[in-house]
Amino acid sequence: MNITLVYGTERKGSTYNIAQLFLNRLKDEKSEVTEIFLPKDMPHFCRGCSLCFMKGEEHCPHYEQVNKIRIALEKADLLIFASPVYVYHTTGQMKTLLDHFGYQWMVHRPNQSMFGKIALIISTAAGAGMKTTNKDIADSLNFWGVARIFKYGKGVAAIDWKGVSDEKKAEIYKNVDTLSEKIIRTSKNVTPSIKTKAMFNVMRIVQKRGGFNKADTEYWKVKGWLDRKRPWKQ
């Protein structure tokens, strides 16, 4: 199982260490692993120029960096997004990355490969905010069409991994094993959820009525999605 792991910070704290636990549990000797650290690998804020929507993603001022990450996401079977909680939400760096992929939301030009992928979202905090942080990331992944999304949030009661108690670490190790087993089982037969298929069909109706711009509608026509073809195995 090939894995691409996106970190919402370059700091190697509790979120990083838990992500590494999942990575070591889920990868095998054949796995190709790509790790993306933010903001190093995507330092630019979205300019809101709308060129990706209206003309195509290749017109984005930051296309070179965005495209490298797109390629890494496409080649992976499992996507892992790991972010510490910043004021009850994901990091600004992670939000910046997701902003750059607005063009591949289902309402615009969804990336067909996403409909066959699994994603795992990881968040940690000293206290709370994991649910809203995971939702920040899941909102984009749902609209990308990712087939199956798993979430893991943990309050670690510490500001770094060294400060996490042995008791809490033992609980984390157990959680990682249990959720990893579930992800491995799911990876044997990845199909989009009913919710994902329903969302796609709603967006298909929008596109059949003319969509929001020419680039989107033309994309759907070329893919054959306005007819009988679908981005998942039928």
User: Shortest CA distance to 130 belongs to which of 183, 87, 181, 173?
Assistant: 87
- Domain coordinates of the chain in residue numbers? 3-191
Full-model pTM: 0.96
pLDDT band, residue 233 (cuts 50/70/90):
confident
Burial degree of 53 (CB within 10 A; 0-12, 13-18, 19+): buried
The answer, yes or no, to whether the previous bond of 39 is cis (omega within 30 of 0) is: yes
Q: In terms of CATH, what superfamily is 3-191? A: Flavodoxin domain (3.40.50.360)
Query: Between 219 and 233, whose confidence is greater?
Result: 219
State pLDDT tens for residues 84-107.
999 999 999 999 999 999 999 999
Please state, as a whole number, how many other Cβ atoms lie within 10 Å of the Cβ of residue 167. Answer: 8
For 12-47, how does the pLDDT look when each residue is reduced to its tens digit (9 = 90+)? 999 999 999 999 999 998 999 999 999 999 999 999
Q: What is the DSSP letter of 78?
A: E
Which tens digit of pLDDT belongs to each residue from 50-77? Answer: 999 999 999 999 999 999 999 999 999 9
Per the CB < 8 A criterion, the answer to whether 144 and 101 are in contact is yes
* Residue 195 CB burial class (10 angstroms; 0-12, 13-18, ≥19): exposed
Indicate the pairing of strand 78-84 with strand 3-7.
parallel
The half-sphere exposure of 173 on its side-chain side, counting CA atoms within 13 A, is 7
In angstroms, the CA 219 to CA 203 distance is: 13
